[in-house]
Amino acid sequence: MNFFKFGVFLAIVLPVYFYIDTYVLPNLYIFDPEVLQQIVNDALASAPTDNTTALFVDINQRMRDVYGETVIPFNTEDWFFNNAGGAMGSMFINHASFSEYVIFFGTAVGTEGHTGVHPASDYFYILKGEQWTHVPGDPEPTIYKAGDMNLMPRGTVRQYSMPSTAWALEYARGWIPGMLPFGLADTLFSTLDFGTFGKTVWLTAKAMIENVLRGKF
């Protein structure tokens, strides 16, 4: 009987999931990967090469010029650490909603870890330094440098490293709530940095709720 109920549950839930995933979710996206690439290219061409903060400010303002109030104004107070997949860096949320997020992510000292398996596609635009990735069976790394974009379709798994100082603009589109356990698990079960946990939850929830109130899911 329990198997029958489970079968009925799947028969109802799976078609609903595939319908939302195929026909609803894509209509919620407002960010265009090609536009973000152009923003990154333009900012890299004009921002001072020795001032990474100025680059963040420039990119953030260019995104606000295109996407308006859905992009949070850049500030230096809302950065926070992120531990995920064994890697550690820091991040700033430019946008977070149920279907998309745009963040600055990176490290001043280098890091390495597992990308995680995500229900969203991830576009990783390198702003400074390098990102190295590895897949099983390939003895050589794929290396992304400033101006390059590393696309990871959802479900993709890689090992990655930022060997030294490196920063990126990261854009994810898909089932964003499904990515949150990966972003929080290391904090809960390893670092026990509950101050960072609280700041992560607060800033993410705040951004999502504000966008819901704007009609952006």
Mean pLDDT of the chain: 95
Span 171-193, average pLDDT: 96
Residues 20 and 97 in one domain: no
Residues 166 and 138: their CA atoms lie apart, in Å, by 23
Q: Using alpha carbons only, what angle is made at residue 211 by residues 26 and 34, rounded to the nearest 5 degrees?
A: 45
Residues 63 and 148 in one domain: yes
Number of domains present in the structure of the chain: 2
CATH number of domain containing 133: 2.60.120.10
pTM of the model: 0.94
Residues 9 and 39 in one domain: no
- Which structural domain, as residue segments, surrounds residue 171? 31-213
Residues 172 and 83 in one domain: yes
Torsion of CA 90, 29, 56, 187, to 10 degrees: -10
Residues 136 and 166 in one domain: yes
Residues 152 and 188 in one domain: yes
Residues 20 and 35 in one domain: no
User: In the predicted model, is pLDDT for residue 106 greater than 90?
Assistant: yes
Q: Look at 3-17, 69-83, 195-209 and tell me which has the smallest mean pLDDT.
A: 3-17
Q: Compare 3 and 174 and report the one with higher pLDDT.
A: 174
At 3 the pLDDT is: 77
User: In the predicted model, is pLDDT for residue 22 greater than 70?
Assistant: yes
70-100: b or e for each residue (b if 16 or more CB lie within 10 Å)? bbbebeeebbbbbbbbebbbebbbbbbbbbb
At 114 the pLDDT is: 98
Residues 43 and 119 in one domain: yes
pLDDT band of 1, cuts 50, 70, 90: low
pLDDT tens-place string over residues 135-169? 999 999 999 999 999 999 999 999 999 999 999 99
